[in-house]
Copies of this chain bind each other. A is one copy, B any other.
């Protein structure tokens, strides 16, 4: 199993419940109990998912005695965004090449039509 940060992040995101937990935390802090409610999950089940998210650094949990809210951490998601950005450039380049090609075809077509 890969242990580099990006692989750990992707593995943590490869579960719909964990992504739903992140979506909830994106709205604001929540306790484990609050997170469990909408998913009809047991507290141990939510804790297990939270451990995976915490290991990836996607979620941190406060240390105050009674109130230990979970919080989303943007850093690993920003790393994913940076990784995605390289592919966005590849797509943009392929669109640019297509655009250049189509413009060249248009110029050739205009030359052909204006030829005697």
Please encode chain A, from 1 to 45, with 1 for each CB lying within 8 Å of some chain B CB and 0 for all others.
010101110110111100100110010000000000000000000
| A101 neighbours in B (Cβ, 8 Å) | none
| A83 neighbours in B (Cβ, 8 Å) | 19
Contact partner of A11 (CB less than 8 A), chosen from B4, B11, B22, B91, is B11
- Closest Cβ of chain B: how far from A105's Cβ, in Å? 22
Give the interface residue-count category, chain A.
20 to 34
Take A84-B84, A87-B74 as given contacts and tell me if A13 and B16 are in contact as well, using a CB distance cutoff of 8 Å.
Answer: no
Within 8 A of B (CB), among A35-94: 74, 77, 80-81, 83-84, 86-88, 90-91
Binding site for B on A (CB under 8 A): 2, 4, 6-8, 10-11, 13-16, 19, 22-23, 26, 74, 77, 80-81, 83-84, 86-88, 90-91
